Amino acid sequence: MHWSSARRIAHPAAWVLLALAAVAPHVSAQPVPAQTAPAPASRFVAVLDAAHGGDDTGATLTSGQMEKAATLALSVRLRSLLSARGMAVVTTRESDLNLVPDKRAEIANHARAQLCLSLHATESGSGVHLYTSSLPPAPQVHFPAWKTAQGAWVLRSLAAAGVLNSALLHAGMNVTLGRTSLPGLDSMTCPAVAVEIAPERGPDNAITAQPDDPAYQARVASTLAAALLEWRTEARQP
């Protein structure tokens, strides 16, 4: 999936300026629905949300594979890496299942996630695209508004995106940063970042790896896993 309306930022320093320039909060009375028992607050939980699924196939990649299959493969890789490092992981889907955005948000919210990564793939651009919600910051309230709940967490989401960005750049990958309206993520009451894998390109802009290439996905997953471990360390600091 490619969000053409996203506001993109080419330089990492501009990311911090966006957080400082955010405007006033928006709060409404509609509460976030609760259906499942939450995890203990002291436990670090990462949520992996493989985009699309079922009859929602997402984009068609050059290889002919559907985006829904590429995102699920990346989710499985990343889950295995994080679990092996002792991190609690919740996934929104483990099979070819179609979930509406609200359900994805409910899963993340009731897991009390310290970070949710929404995984996507695209044939547009290059490297890895990181998107956070374009909602303005808002104060945390007992009953956050559905569809705008992410406002209370958007600054933490920007901080998490910064950690991911640093790790990806250190691994030699091209990174694009952006903010946009993100169905599902806008309703999450946790730090949340959409990670979209685009083709890897060489200096001449020629494609060297497609988003569904297993070796490319393995490198991206390994880098994301390292970034999440760093984020876990930061989250546990007083």
Domains and CATH numbers, the chain: 44-201+208-236 (3.40.630.40)
Maximum Cα–Cα distance for the chain, whole Å?
52
H or E element: which one contains 175?
strand 175-180
pLDDT of residue 155: 97
Rg (CA), the chain: 17
Whether the per-residue pLDDT at 14 is higher than 60: the answer is no
Alpha helices in 96-213 (DSSP H): 101-110, 154-170
Who wins on pLDDT, 63 or 132? 132
Q: What is the pLDDT of residues 78-100, one digit of tens each?
A: 999 999 999 999 999 999 999 99
Q: What is the pLDDT of residues 189-232, one digit of tens each?
A: 999 999 999 999 999 999 999 999 999 999 999 999 999 999 99
pTM of the model: 0.83
Given the structure tokens 């309703």, which residue do they identify?
187
Percent of the chain scoring above 90 in pLDDT = 75
- The band of 144, judged by pLDDT with boundaries at 50, 70 and 90, is confident
Whether the per-residue pLDDT at 238 is higher than 90: the answer is no
